[in-house]
């Protein structure tokens, strides 16, 4: 299989994870520590699953890991919605990160479709 670092979706997912990490670092209230952890874990698992899947032997196995990454993107989006609705993050941060999340998820689904096309 090819190098995962050559995939545009991996670079976009990495940027999303880094931007989420920057956001999490700005949340200082102790009571939100579990949410910060969940945001970070969901975001960082997206590029990690793309990378792990890329090393698999078959397109079907790779597609499975891309599906897991897409699931993590939905989890991230849900946590971002909660953080926004509860006033933990502002509108600008929310719109930016949700936009990135949706873009990555669309790219993942497009790649999954291409890999599983008969």
pLDDT at site 100: 98
pLDDT at 118: 63
Other beta carbons less than 10 A from residue 108's beta carbon: 26
**Residue 88 CB neighbours (<10 A):** 21
Whole-number Å distance between alpha carbons of 48 and 16 = 12
Q: Are 97 and 13 in contact (CB under 8 A)?
A: no
Reported pTM: 0.95
Average pLDDT, the chain: 96
Could you report the per-residue pLDDT of 68-106, keeping only the tens digit for each?
999 999 999 999 999 999 999 999 999 999 999 999 999
Handedness of CA 37, 71, 86, 90 (dihedral sign): positive
């Amino acid at each position: 299989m090819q190098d995962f670092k050559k995939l545009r979706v991996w670079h976009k997912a990495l940027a999303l994870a880094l931007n989420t990490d920057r956001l999490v670092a700005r949340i200082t209230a102790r009571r939100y520590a579990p949410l910060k952890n969940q945001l970070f874990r969901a975001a960082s698992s997206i590029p990690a699953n793309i990378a792990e899947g890329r090393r698999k032997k078959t397109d079907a196995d790779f597609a499975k890991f891309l599906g897991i990454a897409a699931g993590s993107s939905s989890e991230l989006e849900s946590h971002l919605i909660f953080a926004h609705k509860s006033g933990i993050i502002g509108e600008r941060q929310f719109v930016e990160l949700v936009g990135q999340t949706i873009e990555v998820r669309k790219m993942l689904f497009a790649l999954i479709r291409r890999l599983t096309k008969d």
